[in-house]
Amino acid sequence: QVTLKESGPALVKPTQTLTLTCTFSGFSLSTSGMRVTWIRQPPGKALEWLARIDWGDDKFYSTSLKTRLTISKDTSKNQVVLIMTNMEPVDTATYYCARMNAGGTHMDVWGEGTTVTVSS
């Protein structure tokens, strides 16, 4: 059974850096074809794709946020980390990690999400 779970701070101050961790089980990111992605959703708004990391450590980012995002993986811990710098109130959202299929075309299993509020 594949599961993913996000963790991180519930509250960050403006200008701070956010670090989120996705801990997963049921698959290995060292296996060819495995990919993990991050998505966020501001309250009452639509989903937004953020970043993706692949089994070979290839990394891809949203064009609009690429200067603020860093994605990495720790295969031994079955974890993927997303770092977002210079947080602003508009970054308040629920952040989800999800596994992508081998073709990198859709998310087949999602975590439950973690809510992050940016406020002083």
Convert residues 27-66 into a mask of x (bound to another protein by CB under 8 A) and - (unbound): ------------x------xxxx--x-----x-x-xxx--
Among 32, 76, 105, 120, binds another protein (CB under 8 A): 105
CA distances from 35 to 54, 85, 120 (A): 4, 23, 35
As beta bridge partners, residue 53 has 36, 59
Q: Which is nearer to another protein, 72 or 101 (CB)?
A: 101
96 binds another protein (CB under 8 A): yes
Count of residues engaged in binding another protein, rule: CB under 8 A: 23
Convert residues 2-31 into a mask of x (bound to another protein by CB under 8 A) and - (unbound): ------------------------------
CA separation for the pair 14, 83 (Å, rounded):
15
Do 107 and 22 contact (CB within 8 A), yes or no?
no
Residue 8's region, left for phi above 0, alpha for psi from -120 to 50, else beta, is: left
No. of helices (H) and no. of strands (E), the chain: 0, 11
Q: Which tokens hold the place of 104?
A: 């990198």
101 binds another protein (CB under 8 A): yes
**Which residues would be at the binding site for another protein (CB under 8 A)?**
39, 46-49, 52, 58, 60, 62-64, 96, 101, 103-108, 110-113
